Amino acid sequence: MGGVRRYPAELVLLTGVVLLLALGGLAWLCSAVVTASVLWAGAAAAALVPAVVWVVADLRAGRWGADLLAVLALGGTVAVGEYLAGAIIAAMVATGRMLEAGAARRAGRDLSALLERAPSRARVRSGAEVEVVPVAEVAVGDVVVVLPGEIVPVDGVVLDGGQFDESAVTGEAVPISRTAGEPVRSGVVNAGGAADLRATATAEASTYAGMVRLAEQAAVDTAPVARLADRIAVWFLPASLLIAAVAWVLTGDPERAVAVLVTATPCPLLLAVPVAVTGGLSRASRSGVVVKGGAALETLGRVRSLAMDKTGTVTAGRPEVVDIVCAPGVRPDEALAEAAAVERYSPHVLAGAVLRAARRAGVTPPAAESVTERAGHGASGIVEGRPVWVGKLEDATVLPPWAAGAARRGRLDLATVIWVVTDDEPYAALLVRDRVRPDAARTIRRLRAAGLWHIVLLTGDRVDNATEVAALLGLDEVKAEAAPADKITVVRAEREHGTTAMVGDGVNDAPALAAADIGIALGSRGSTAAAKAADAVIVDDRIDRLADAVEIARRARRLAVQSAGLGTLLSVAAMALAAFGLLVPVAGALVQEAIDVAVILNALRAVRGPMTWRPPARPTVLLRRFADEHETLLPTRAAVRRAADALAEGAGPAADEAVREAHRLLTDRLLPHEFAEETQLYPALAGVLGGPESTMTMSRAHTEIERLVRRLGRHLAEAPAGIQPDQVDDLRATLYGLDAVLTLHFTQEEEAYFTLAPRVRD
């Protein structure tokens, strides 16, 4: 036997009131006036009883206003015999409650879904056996088996690769392929075959558990009576009562007072504010930002000043090898392979940069023996029979000319230099730098467009590094070498000029996050301390979620102010008409019904709203593909610069070999990539960006790149026996020009196009 279906109390109330109102109208049409009056009075009473309960609850909570007016209006219509007006007011009150409850349930759906999806069990592999255990018992280092369609229970790294649906965590609809060694966050769904992951965090410390905690905290505060509504109610109730009293006193007609109270019934009107705020919370959650309550969302909607941490916030937060400079006769891939062979056993963050560079270049490191590490300096080992040191050089080391040039480039590019040394002689230099996020510049532009007028970069890093990043992003001010106490001081100073937000991800950012009007933490790789101190948390590793959150908060607050302000003004106008006798109670009730329903429906726009644009599936897949190819083409771009540098000593076998190698890589790897972009990616983007003109600038860059490569080829064709001295100057100009065009073109593509496809790097 099936269970009895339960309906929301608001729906039952609305159905009952509308039924009594309709039956009363039918009776009136049949000339049964007394019956009609009884039915309408019943409708008014049906709403009056719960309205009194709501008023008592509000008064106990220290609130008063909207529901009190509803009680007075309902009681007044019954007292003067305006039963039809009372029934209409009852329908209005029930409709408002129904809309509010529906919006709250709809807005809370995304948050409650997090709680319902939280996995409680995990499959842990022990040898050949797989045991199902409570998720809380999974330890760091355990091998967890995730079957197709299952939710990943803890953060981990893929052992053999797999495909995952990350939409629940990042909002990205297209499944993501992860290769061996890449990280996978808890909460994503296995969209491929069974996958093995090695746990890197316990369930309690994993990404999804943090999202659940934030969801629970936000759910507690999703539907408060917003402060804006409180401020309106403080003066609206006394004003309504005063107008009603004056109308009664001056005319001696109590119906005038009732008509005023009827038109002043703003119960659903003032509920429009929490509806808009709750809708904004839901939108933010779906966009990958969990905001801890309506008050925080309102504050975010008023932000005018922003302080941003640098490392891990506007930069990727990890170093990457950006170039390889080698001694004459040494191949970059050989040097990288030997460095990776030694660094493979090191936990140092720079070792990770070397290993990632080797993987991108397709280099397989040889075996290394007798590997030892000197903390803070580097590591050494025996690679293919010879000693290799990877790390810093001793201060007294005399650098050969090529190495002095590499060291100077490191200083000019603000990069750290990792030296590769054998027999006390450096033979390669790896230039390492923490890159600015490709989506950072777009995010700053969107924040400016949203109304932020002052953006400060706060960092403990060196002044030159911080200044370079701020200049690239167009920030207003830089505070470098800042300790946590210095960050607090800057944030407090910013607050004197307007509502201030702070964005960060590290433990050292937590005090500043707490000191700001609203703190926003990057939760994907951010510290637990930062997440706890923040008022909002970005749950994945995309800084452009910050712009999403600000735009959503601005829109939700604008709709709340718009709904409350316009609705209140219309109610005041209706009250004036009622006071002058131009609206009888029945007409006033109908007018107020229309006003209240209209403003609540307007507030409901915050639940849906214009979502942040994401490209369709096919462009998204193409964008990811070509973004990954940009990574693999870094060695080709580096070869262009090395060939130009090799010509500094004039024509010779080494320079000839370097130029021919650069031309080979350009022809075999770069030009096919550019051709595929031109024929596959750009047409797909033109379809969603408004036409081919949107990609015309990038197409022109492709043309220039192809022209320079052809020119380089003609140079080599004219010198089959080797580059001639009279070719050196033009060859260097061609190569340096090609290097500059490639650098600009790749940067533009990464910022303009590739940031459109959400992706999480390893």
Q: Check whether 333 has a pLDDT greater than 60.
A: yes
Q: In this predicted structure, what is the pLDDT of residue 638? A: 84
Query: Strands 454-458, 477-479: parallel, antiparallel or unpaired by DSSP?
Result: parallel
Q: Check whether 99 has a pLDDT greater than 70.
A: no
User: Between residues 52 and 667, which one has the greater pLDDT?
Assistant: 667
Query: What 3 state SS string does 486-522 have?
Result: HHHHHHHHHHCCCCEEEEECCHHHHHHHHHCCEEEEE
Question: What is the pLDDT averaged over residues 677-682?
Answer: 86
Return the bridge partners of 165, or none: 189
d(CA 48, CA 20): 14
Residue 308 domain-assigned? Answer: no
Express each pLDDT in 698-729 by its tens digit. 888 899 999 999 999 998 998 888 888 888 88
Q: Check whether 501 has a pLDDT greater than 80.
A: yes
CA 322 to chain CA centroid, Å, is 27
Q: In this predicted structure, what is the pLDDT of residue 735? A: 93
Q: How confident is the model at residue 115 (pLDDT cuts 50, 70, 90)?
A: low
d(CA 166, CA 540): 10
The encoded tokens of residue 395 equal 């201060």
Residue 284 domain-assigned? Answer: no
The encoded tokens of residue 373 equal 């590490």
DSSP 567-578: HHHHHHHHHHHH
Q: In this predicted structure, what is the pLDDT of residue 2? A: 43
Q: How confident is the model at residue 80 (pLDDT cuts 50, 70, 90)?
A: low
Answer yes or no: do 332 and 420 share one domain. yes
Q: How confident is the model at residue 757 (pLDDT cuts 50, 70, 90)?
A: low
User: Between residues 156 and 624, which one has the greater pLDDT?
Assistant: 156
With 0-12 / 13-18 / 19 or more C-beta atoms within 10 angstroms meaning exposed / middle / buried, residue 729 is exposed
The encoded tokens of residue 616 equal 């369709």
CATH code of 471's domain = 3.40.50.1000
Q: Which of 464, 321, 334, 325 is nearest to 405 (CA)?
A: 325
Answer yes or no: do 89 and 128 share one domain. no
Residue 341 domain-assigned? Answer: yes
User: Between residues 483 and 655, which one has the greater pLDDT?
Assistant: 655
Q: Which of 111, 239, 73 is nearest to 607 (CA)?
A: 111
Q: Which of 509, 510, 415, 416 is nearest to 457 (CA)?
A: 509
Express each pLDDT in 427-440 by its tens digit. 999 999 888 888 88
Q: In this predicted structure, what is the pLDDT of residue 3? A: 44
Q: In this predicted structure, what is the pLDDT of residue 110? A: 46
What percent of the chain stands above pLDDT 90?
A: 13
Answer yes or no: do 641 and 752 share one domain. yes
Question: What is the pLDDT averaged over residues 304-324?
Answer: 86
Q: In this predicted structure, what is the pLDDT of residue 455? A: 94
* Catalytic residue flag (residue 668): no
Question: What is the pLDDT averaged over residues 567-581?
Answer: 78
Residue 443 domain-assigned? Answer: yes
For residue 586, the one-letter residue type is V
Q: Give the angle subtended at the CA of 261 by the CAs of 602 and 40, to the nearest 5°.
A: 90
Answer yes or no: do 92 and 239 share one domain. yes
Range name among 417-426, 585-594, 701-710 with the lowest pLDDT average: 585-594
CATH code of 392's domain = 3.40.1110.10
Q: In this predicted structure, what is the pLDDT of residue 223? A: 40
Longest dimension (CA), the chain: 114
- As a whole number of Å, the end-to-end CA separation of the chain is 53
Q: Check whether 607 has a pLDDT greater than 70.
A: no
Residue 490 domain-assigned? Answer: yes
Q: Check whether 633 has a pLDDT greater than 70.
A: yes
Give the number of other CB atoms < 10 A from CB of residue 288. 25
Return the bridge partners of 383, or none: 368, 386
User: Between residues 300 and 18, which one has the greater pLDDT?
Assistant: 300
Q: Which of 593, 584, 585, 588 is nearest to 574 (CA)?
A: 588
Residues 6+ apart with CB under 8 A from 425: 400
Answer yes or no: do 233 and 324 share one domain. no
Q: Check whether 177 has a pLDDT greater than 90.
A: no
Answer yes or no: do 520 and 565 share one domain. no
| Last residue in a domain, options 394, 420, 435 | 435
Question: What is the pLDDT averaged over residues 78-86?
Answer: 70
DSSP 393-436: PPTTPPPPHHHHHHHHHHHHTT-EEEEEEETTEEEEEEEEEEEE
Answer yes or no: do 734 and 627 share one domain. yes
User: Between residues 1 and 16, which one has the greater pLDDT?
Assistant: 16
Question: What is the pLDDT averaged over residues 557-577?
Answer: 80
* Backbone conformation region of residue 32, classed left if phi is above 0, alpha if psi is from -120 to 50, else beta: beta
Return the bridge partners of 196, or none: 145
What residues make up the domain containing 346?
Answer: 318-435
- How many structural domains does the chain have? 5
Q: Check whether 332 has a pLDDT greater than 80.
A: yes
d(CA 92, CA 18): 10
Q: How confident is the model at residue 176 (pLDDT cuts 50, 70, 90)?
A: confident
Q: Check whether 214 has a pLDDT greater than 60.
A: no
Question: What is the pLDDT averaged over residues 347-353?
Answer: 82
DSSP code of 726?
A: G
Global pTM? 0.67
Answer yes or no: do 96 and 124 share one domain. no
Question: What is the pLDDT averaged over residues 734-743?
Answer: 91
Contact 635, 331 (CB under 8 A): no
Q: In this predicted structure, what is the pLDDT of residue 374? A: 81
Range name among 228-242, 405-419, 529-543 with the lowest pLDDT average: 228-242
Question: What is the pLDDT averaged over residues 10-32?
Answer: 79
Answer yes or no: do 749 and 635 share one domain. yes
DSSP code of 2?
A: P
Answer yes or no: do 96 and 225 share one domain. yes
Answer yes or no: do 623 and 747 share one domain. yes
Residue 548 domain-assigned? Answer: no
Question: What is the pLDDT averaged over residues 70-78?
Answer: 71
Q: In this predicted structure, what is the pLDDT of residue 123? A: 92
d(CA 430, CA 354): 8
| Last residue in a domain, options 538, 564, 585 | 538
Q: Which of 67, 196, 309, 323 is catalytic?
A: 309
Four-point Cα dihedral 730, 731, 736, 737, nearest 10: 60
Q: Check whether 220 has a pLDDT greater than 50.
A: no
| Last residue in a domain, options 403, 435, 467 | 435
Residue 1 domain-assigned? Answer: no
Q: Rounded mean pLDDT of the chain?
A: 79
Residue 151 domain-assigned? Answer: yes
Question: What is the pLDDT averaged over residues 339-363?
Answer: 86
What percent of the chain stands above pLDDT 70?
A: 81
Answer yes or no: do 187 and 249 share one domain. no
Express each pLDDT in 449-462 by its tens digit. 888 999 999 887 78
d(CA 374, CA 381): 11
Q: How confident is the model at residue 219 (pLDDT cuts 50, 70, 90)?
A: very low
Helices and strands in the chain: count of H runs, count of E runs: 28, 22
Return the bridge partners of 151, or none: 189
Contact 340, 418 (CB under 8 A): no
